[in-house]
A = this chain, B = another copy of it.
Amino acid sequence: MEANFSRTQSDRKKRQAKKFGDPNNPLLVSSRSGAKFSMPGMMETILNIGLTDEVVRGIIDTTGNDRFAWDSYRRLIEMYGTVVMNVPDEAFEHPLAEYKYEKGYKLDIEMRAEDWQEIVGTYKQVYKQETGTDFPQDPYKQLSLAIEAVFKSWNGKRAVAYRRKEGISDSLGTAVNICTMVFGNMGEDSATGVAFTRNPSNGKKTMMGDFLINAQGEDVVAGIRNTEPIEHLEKYMPKAYKQFMKITKRLEHHYKEMQDVEFTIERGTLWMLQTRNGKRTAKAAVKIAVDMANEGLITRDDAILRITPEVVDALLHPQFGDAAMEQAESEGKFFARGVNASPGAAVGQIYFEADTAEKMAKEQHQQVIMVRPFTKPDDVHGMIASKGVLTSEGGATSHAAVVARQFGIPCVVGASSIKIDLEAKSMTVNGTTLKEGDWISVDGGSGKVFAGKIPTTEPTLEEQTELMTLLKWADEVCARKNIRKGYPSTGLQVWANADYPKDAQRARLYGAVGIGLCRTEHMFFETRRLPIVQQMILAKTSTERIDALNQLLEYQRKDFDGLFEAMNGYPVIIRLIDPPLHEFMPDEEKLLEEVITLRATGKMQGLKEKENLLSVIRAMRESNPMLGLRGVRLSIAMPEIVEMQVRAIFEAASDCVKRGIKAKPEIMIPLVGTVKELEWIQPRLESIAKKVMKEKQIKFTYKFGTMIEVPRASLTANRVAEKAEFFSFGTNDLTQMTFAYSRDDAERNFLVTYQEQGILEKNPFQTLDREGVGELMRWTINSGRETRPNLEVGICGEHGGDPDSIEWCHIIGNNYVSCSPFRVPVARLAAAHAALKHKPKKQK
C-alpha cells in the first residue's frame, strides 16, 4: 500500500514524529454510527481541535502563513464553541457580520490576516461570555471535551430524528475517530481535489474530477478558483497521478461501486481523505450496473439489486433533459429549490388560487402550475386540475405533498426561499418576481424550479439498451426454479391491465406476459355504444333486452379478438361487467334540474319523458354504490349481460384459433363473496363456452376464476377455490372494504390528515397495507391452495405496479402481478428484487 487512507493508517514513524499540539497537525475528531461505511446520508460530527494561542504562534513561526493560522483558529473556536459548548451560532455570526460591514467587506476572502486575528480576539470574548470559561489553551482538554461532545451528539435531536426516519437502531452507538490532518495548501507541491471513478451523469467508464494546486478542499467546493480537470494532474504530478489512478481503480474493485473520492497531496505525498459510493443520475446508475456486471466486477444479481425500481420509473416518464436543465441553469433561469415531494417534470403557467387554477385549466385549457404557501383540503380541486404544484412551506408529508403523490402530480414543496404575495398574485426569490400566468418548470424529481419553459423528453424503453438488458436479467431471475419455497417455486411474472388491443400491444412491448385485467365495461362507455347499453338497461321485455345485447355482442367480440391477437399465446383475463348499472345512465342531478326547471316554468313538452327517466334512475340509486348491486350480484339479477359477454369472448377466441392465433381466455367473475354465487353463475357461463366451441367446432383451454376483493371471499377462500380456478386480488376494493374507506371520499379528505398525523404511514391505496390487507391476502392464498394446490393467484389492483406491494406479493406466493403497461418495466425489476431479497434459505 503506497498511499495513506488517513493518518491512522500512515506509517508509525511519521505518526510518532508528529506530536499532539504540533501546529502542522490539528486533530480531527469525528463520529460515525458504527454500522457500515457506505450507509447513505450517515450522520457525522467533525471537529477540528488542537489549536491554541501557542500552537498558532508556532504555525506562524514555522510557515509564515499568518492568515491561514488565524483563519483556522477562529474557525476552530467557532466550531468548538457551538458543537462542544452549545454556544448559539448567532453569537459568533453577528460580530463577524458587523466587522465585515464596518470594513466594507462582502466575502470572507477579503478578510486579511489581521482581520482574522481581531476576530479570534472577539470570538474568545464571546466564548467566555457564553460559557463562563476561557477558551481552553490545553489541547488535551480540547480533545477530551470534543470526544465527550461526539458521544453526546448520538442523543442529539437531529441524530435521533434521523435514526427514526432511517430505521437505525438506537442501541447501535457511535464511534470516535481521532486523526491528524493533511494540507493541500502547503505550496506548489501540494494539491487537493475530488473525483468520480466513472461519469456520474451518463455512466461512461471514464474518471471525472477536479483539482486545485496549493489549496484546501473547501476551495474546490466553493468554486472561487477555477478548478482543473483531473486528467491535468498527470502533467503537474505524474507520480501522484499514477498512484491516484491505481488507488481509485483498486477502491472501485474493493467496493464494487463507482467511487466519489476526496484527496489531498501534501508536499508530493498523496493522501486519500475519503471514498464513498458516488451519486449518479438514473441513466448512469443503469449503465454502470450493467457495465460492471459485464466487466465481471459484480454479478448480474448485484446489478439488478443496485437499481431501485423508482429509477426505472424515472427513466420512462417525461423528464427535463440534462442538457436542457444545464442550459436553463447557465441562463440564470434557476429559480428555487424545495423538497422533491412528487416526481415528474411539469411545465405550466402559475396561478395562486385553486379556483382560478381549475378554471384556467378547464375552461382555457391552459397548462397550469398551482402555487401556494401551503395547501388545504379546499385546494384539492385546483391541484387535480394542475400539471404541477409548488409550495413555499411544508415537508414531504405536508398536505400538498400527500395529495400530489396521490394523484401523480409533480410537486415541489417547502421551497422556502420563495416569498409568495397572494394579494399581488406573484412570487419572488432574490429580486426575481414571477406573476400570475408566467411560465415555470418544476422538476419533482430533484426539487428544482426554473423560470420559463424547459423542454421535456419522453424516453422510450427500446432506446435504452442497458435498461433492456437489465430487465431481461430481471426476468431471468424470476424464471429461476426454487427461488421460492412451495408453489409457485419461480418468481413473479409481470402481466398488464389492458382494456384495448393497443394497450395489450404496449404491454407486450414492455415485457408483460399476460393480461391480468381487461375491464369489459370500459367498452360500454364508448359514444356509439352507450345508447345501446342504456336501451338494454331500460328494456321492458326480455326481447328488447336481447336485441340490444346482440348489438353489443358484435362490438365486444371485435374488442376481444384484438386482445387475443395481441397476446397470442399468453393468457388474457377478462373481467365480466362490474359497475352498477346507474353508471351507464344520464346524470341524475342534471336531469332533476331539467325537470324542476320545466315544471317551474310551466313548459310541459318532454316533461313526462324526462320524469319517467328520472324515476327509473332514482330507483337505481343506492346509498353506498360501492357496496351495492354490481359485479356478480348484478349478473345474478340480470344474467343476460354476462351471458352475452361470455359468448363474445368464446366466439372471438374461436375465430382467433381458426386464424392460427393461440387464444388463452380466462373469465373473471367480480365481487364474489361466497362460493354459492359461483355455484349459481359459473355452470351457466361454462355451458355457453362449451356451446360456442361446439358451434365453431373448435377446442381450446380456458379458465373460470374470481376476483378477490370482498373480505368474505378472502375469509372463505378454501370454499371459493372449490369453483374458482384462479384468484386475482382486486386490492383497490379489498383495501376499501378492509379499511372501510371509500377511496374517492377518503383520498380528498381524512386520508390526507391521517398521513399528516402519522396515523397511516403510507396511502394504503398506493402501497399495500401489509399488516391488515396484506395478511388477509396471505391467508387467502394459503386457504385457497388448501383446496386447489396449484391455484393461480395474481393481483390486478393498482398495487400491482408498486415495488413495495410487489415484494409482498412475492413473499405471500402470488404467481404474477398485473399493472398498467407503463409500470411493467418497474414491476419486472421489482419482482426480481423481491426474488433476490427473499431467496429461501438453503437446507443444511
Residues of A within 8 A of B (CB): 589, 592-593, 596-597, 600-601, 622-629, 633, 636-637, 671, 673-674, 676-677, 680, 709-712, 715-716, 719, 733, 736-742, 744-746, 749-750, 753-754, 757-760, 769, 771-773, 775-776
Contact = CB atoms under 8 A, between A and B. Distances in A.
B623 A626 contact: yes
A626 B624 contact: yes
A627 B758 contact: no
B744 A733 contact: no
Given A592-B592, A711-B738, 13 more contacts: A593-B596, A600-B600, A622-B742, A623-B626, A624-B742, A674-B760, A676-B758, A677-B759, A680-B759, A710-B738, A710-B740, A716-B772, A719-B771
Contact of A624 (B625, B715, B738): B625
A750 B633 contact: yes
A181 B760 CA distance: 80
A593 to B, nearest CB: 5
Contacts of A739: 673, 710-712
Contact of A745 (B623, B737, B759, B769): B623
22 contacts: A596-B596, A623-B745, A624-B744, A624-B745, A626-B627, A627-B741, A629-B749, A633-B750, A637-B750, A673-B739, A674-B759, A674-B760, A710-B740, A711-B738, A712-B739, A715-B738, A715-B775, A719-B771, A733-B740, A737-B737, A737-B738, A737-B740
A494 to B, nearest CB: 28
Contacts of A677: 759
Copies of this polypeptide in the complex: 2
Contacts of A745: 622-625, 627-629
A723 to B, nearest CB: 13
A775 B773 CA distance: 17
Contact of A636 (B625, B629, B711, B757): B757
A633 B750 CA distance: 7
Contacts of A600: 596-597, 600-601
3 closest Cβ contacts across the A-B interface?
A624-B742, A600-B600, A627-B742
A739 B745 CA distance: 20
Given A596-B596, A750-B633, A623 B625 contact: yes
**Main SS at interface, chain A:** helix
Contacts of A736: 627
Contacts of A757: 636, 680
A710 B167 CA distance: 30
A636 B759 CA distance: 10
Given A711-B711, A733-B740, A738-B712, A674 B627 contact: no
Nearest to A715: B772
Given A637-B750, A676-B758, A773 B712 contact: yes
Given A596-B596, A740-B733, A715 B680 contact: no
Contacts of A676: 758-760
Contacts of A636: 750, 753-754, 757, 759
A771 B673 CA distance: 11
A714 to B, nearest CB: 9
Nearest to A673: B739
A742 to B, nearest CB: 4
Contacts of A637: 750, 753
A820 to B, nearest CB: 23
A478 B750 CA distance: 44
A596 B600 CA distance: 8
Contacts of A597: 596, 600
B738 A627 contact: no
Contacts of A671: 740
Nearest to A758: B676
A409 to B, nearest CB: 21
A591 B471 CA distance: 58
A758 B636 CA distance: 12
Contacts of A746: 627-629
B624 A627 contact: yes
Contacts of A773: 712
A772 B737 CA distance: 14
Contacts of A629: 745-746, 749-750
Contacts of A758: 676
A372 to B, nearest CB: 19
A31 to B, nearest CB: 33
A715 to B, nearest CB: 5
Most chain B CB within a 10 A radius of its CB, from A601, A624, A719, A772: A624
A204 to B, nearest CB: 48
A740 B630 CA distance: 11
A28 B680 CA distance: 45
Contacts of A715: 738, 771-772, 775-776
A803 to B, nearest CB: 23
A623 B629 CA distance: 15
A809 B49 CA distance: 72
Nearest to A633: B750
A45 to B, nearest CB: 33
Contacts of A593: 592, 596
Contacts of A716: 771-772, 775
A734 to B, nearest CB: 9
A636 B749 CA distance: 12
A627 to B, nearest CB: 4
A680 B737 CA distance: 23
A487 B771 CA distance: 26
Contacts of A760: 674, 676
A712 B744 contact: no
Most chain B CB within a 10 A radius of its CB, from A629, A671, A719: A629
A712 B715 CA distance: 12
A682 to B, nearest CB: 12
Nearest to A733: B740
Nearest to A671: B740
A395 to B, nearest CB: 19
Nearest to A772: B712
A362 to B, nearest CB: 18
Contacts of A776: 711, 715
A315 to B, nearest CB: 35
Contacts of A624: 624-627, 742, 744-745
A744 B623 CA distance: 7
Nearest to A712: B772
Nearest to A626: B624
Nearest to A621: B745
Most chain B CB within a 10 A radius of its CB, from A593, A601, A625, A715: A715
A641 to B, nearest CB: 15
A209 B593 CA distance: 73
Contacts of A775: 715-716
Contacts of A733: 740
Contacts of A750: 629, 633, 636-637
A620 to B, nearest CB: 10
A322 to B, nearest CB: 42
Most chain B CB within a 10 A radius of its CB, from A637, A674, A676, A759: A759
